[in-house]
Structure 1
């Protein structure tokens, strides 16, 4: 499954839903017009009652908000997205570059690991069919010792392939969960942005009324905070890729030593997959630290509870699978 295409579908969905903003513009104009009438009348009446000069500058606020409502997709959404888009592109480039380096080092590590196992006569037959057949051919005849050795070789090769298959299957399962966690965060982010964008004119219209001025700043802070989920997610992926790059670099340095014999274990990779799965669900909290957005406390609480439960389930699953693998290998 190509998860990158699914993320691109979400980007397209956001673009395709933007024309629906126009359906709310007319309603928002009516709400803002009514609010502007009360807003201006109240301040003019107060100035006349106090026999003071009318201050025109504060009266321009409803008209400025009305102008934003009339051209909401262009002035408001266009400006915010244009300002934040370079941040998204910059973090995405960082993630792509770091992931590319990690994949190159991983291929080099796998090649060196195979070469190291081929250098060792005791492990060469485990990874190479040619070496296995060559070793079998050397044991001709019906010597009981040779039969025991051949049987032992078949068992060792079978256990190695079983261990490798179980590790690869579990790694694939964790990779799917890792990508699914990123897709869940991206889907929730897209949903929030679509709702905030479509109902944004209504929020601007309500902000004209006295007592609801904070609606405008609240909408803006929430939109920016949710928009930053994607850059924070890319930075988190970049950090994980960098850590794995450093770990793989140490493994490559060890494999370059002719005396080093690899064990083929991928425990570190599995651990980082578990960290990534749990870490993706704290991205909304980190984005909230960058732009303080009120009204999202319950969501953060639910996310934290989900992280605790998913972490416990993932840890239990990893422990059970690891215990089964070790149990079979010991037998």
Structure 2
């Protein structure tokens, strides 16, 4: 909920910064008015010089752009946001539904794991204080019983320590995953605010000859950045679905009375690391949906960050795999 509140703060920040674009309307009107004057005068003079009839229709363009500049928050931003907001609402609804199902499955899995450990007399005392005390009461004070008690205490302490380490590392990866999503949302909000505040200037400059493409480029960039959030929600929904399928498989295995869970969350952690890397590919994916120009440098920086995150994720996954291999080896040696 803490990260969700931060995302809500970013949305509130965007709504409160939008009115600032009205302060640019005065400067933008001056630029657009001067550009319209040269635009119309040049075409009228050209038609008169060629003794051709004056075509009025092409001259309406600067006046339409001027109206957009005057009422930029309502006409331009209001229209684009109202058209794209259903996409954001739809993808966020998908994510919320999948996350809710994931929480239910995770709670069911935790309960089944606890029941599976309690079913096995060899592991029941690790999770249940009652079973631990009961097993202690069954022992006497002979040297062999005292050694057994010491072994139980050490085994229980080792189990709790390993569980705390796994839970700590899992929480760390989850925090990094949420932080990556917050980074993308923060950059998205910053880009949208800059494009919105300086949007009237971009529209005004597009009135001048040679800068007509500035209008379409601004629209394409704004739409592309706006779609970062829906793409991020789709990516999160996919990860939640993968985790749900993994948990369903674990639940199916836990339904077997002879199955003993090991408490490992290695695969879950690996998918979270993959998710951290995947978040930095969102600008590239949105670039496939809406083609934009002038953002090549940022895309290169994002790709470099993704490669660095991939290296860190690989190192983390290797450390986890090595730790799990060491545990398995230790268990085998202890059994021998």
With structure 1 as the length reference, what TM-score do the two structures score? Answer: 0.97
Local SS of the residue matching 2:281: helix
RMSD: 1.4
State the distance in 2 between where 1:143 and 1:199 align.
Answer: 83
How far residue 314 of structure 1 moved from its aligned partner, in angstroms, is: 3.1
Match of 2:199 in 1: 200
Match of 2:47 in 1: 47
Local SS of the residue matching 1:55: coil
Local SS of the residue matching 1:109: helix
Match of 2:172 in 1: 173
How far residue 128 of structure 1 moved from its aligned partner, in angstroms, is: 0.6
Where does 1:74-89 land on structure 2 (aligned, <5 Å)?
A: 74-89=74-89
Match of 2:334 in 1: none
The count of residues paired between Structure 1 and Structure 2 equals 330
How far residue 298 of structure 1 moved from its aligned partner, in angstroms, is: 1.1
Native 8 Å contact 1:136 1:150 kept in 2: yes
Native 8 Å contact 2:32 2:207 kept in 1: yes
Per-residue CA distance 1:121-148 (angstroms, 9 max, x = gap): 01111111110110011002x2222122
How far residue 315 of structure 1 moved from its aligned partner, in angstroms, is: 2.6
How far residue 328 of structure 1 moved from its aligned partner, in angstroms, is: 6.7
State the distance in 2 between where 1:111 and 1:328 align.
Answer: 24
State the distance in 2 between where 1:254 and 1:134 align.
Answer: 29
Per-residue CA distance 1:145-183 (angstroms, 9 max, x = gap): 212222221121111111100000001111110110000
Where does 1:1-331 land on structure 2 (aligned, <5 Å)?
A: 2-140=2-140, 142-320=141-319, 323-324=322-323, 327=326, 330=330
Native 8 Å contact 2:266 2:321 kept in 1: no
Per-residue CA distance 1:168-221 (angstroms, 9 max, x = gap): 000111111011000000000000000000000000000001110000000000
How far residue 319 of structure 1 moved from its aligned partner, in angstroms, is: 3.0
Native 8 Å contact 1:226 1:284 kept in 2: yes
> Which stretches of structure 1, 4 residues or longer, exceed 2 Å deviation after superposition?
317-331
Query: Using a 3 Å threshold, how does the CA distance of structure 1 residues 328 and 261 change in structure 2: closer, same or farther?
Result: closer
Local SS of the residue matching 1:252: helix
State the distance in 1 between where 2:278 and 2:171 align.
Answer: 18
State the distance in 1 between where 2:231 and 2:85 align.
Answer: 13
State the distance in 2 between where 1:313 and 1:238 align.
Answer: 24
Gaps of 5+ in 2: 332-336
State the distance in 2 between where 1:321 and 1:225 align.
Answer: 37
With structure 2 as the length reference, what TM-score do the two structures score? Answer: 0.95
State the distance in 2 between where 1:17 and 1:277 align.
Answer: 29
